[in-house]
Structure 1
Amino acid sequence: MAAYKTPQKTPRTFNLDRLKTPIGTALLVTDADGVLRALDWDDYEGRMLELLRLHYGVVTLRDGRAPRELREALSGYFKGDLDRLADIRWRVAGTAFQQKVWHALPKIPPGTTMSYGALAAKLKAPNAMRAVGHANGSNPISVVVPCHRLIGANGSLVKYGGGLERKRWLLRHEGVEV
Structure 2
Amino acid sequence: MRARTALPVALTVTLLGLMGCGAGSGADDDAAGASRSSSASPAQPPASSDPDRSATPGPVPEVLRFTATTVDGKPFDGSTLTGKPTVLWFWAPWCPKCKAQAAETAKVAADRAGEVNVVGVAGLDKNAAMKDFVADTGTSGFPHLSDEKGDIWKRFEVTEQSRYVIVDKDGRTVYEGVLPSGEGLAEKVAGLTG
TM-score range, shorter chain: under 0.3
Of the two, which has the highest radius of gyration? 2
Structure with higher RCO (Cα < 8 A, 6+ apart) = 2
